[in-house]
Amino acid sequence: MNMEKIYNQMMEKASSDPKFKEELLKDATSALKKIGVDFGDNVKVSVFESTPEHMHFVLPTNA
């Protein structure tokens, strides 16, 4: 899977479709499946929206 392509597709859809963005924030796995992205049943996908008051960082597993 090309993660950059998936990310760009997700961002484009979320910026143009408020209902998709809402679902993406509530149930990312289901929302992504609707645009053809399926990581399988053993992978949990979470999407968060950063704001000036609440930012998110992701650490790699080897950090």
* Helix, coil or strand: residue 27: coil
**12 vs 4, 17, 22, CA distance in Å?**
12, 9, 14
- pLDDT value at residue 17: 97
For the chain, the structural domain boundaries read 1-63
11-58 pLDDT, tens digit per residue, is: 999 999 999 999 999 999 999 999 999 999 999 999 999 999 999 998
Say if residue 63's pLDDT is above 70.
Answer: no
| Distance of alpha carbon 45 from alpha carbon 17, whole angstroms | 19
Span 56-61, mean pLDDT?
A: 89
Question: Exposed, middle or buried: residue 57 (CB in 10 Å: 0-12, 13-18, 19+)?
Answer: exposed
Hey, CA dihedral for 25, 28, 31, 36, is it positive or negative? positive
| pTM score | 0.81
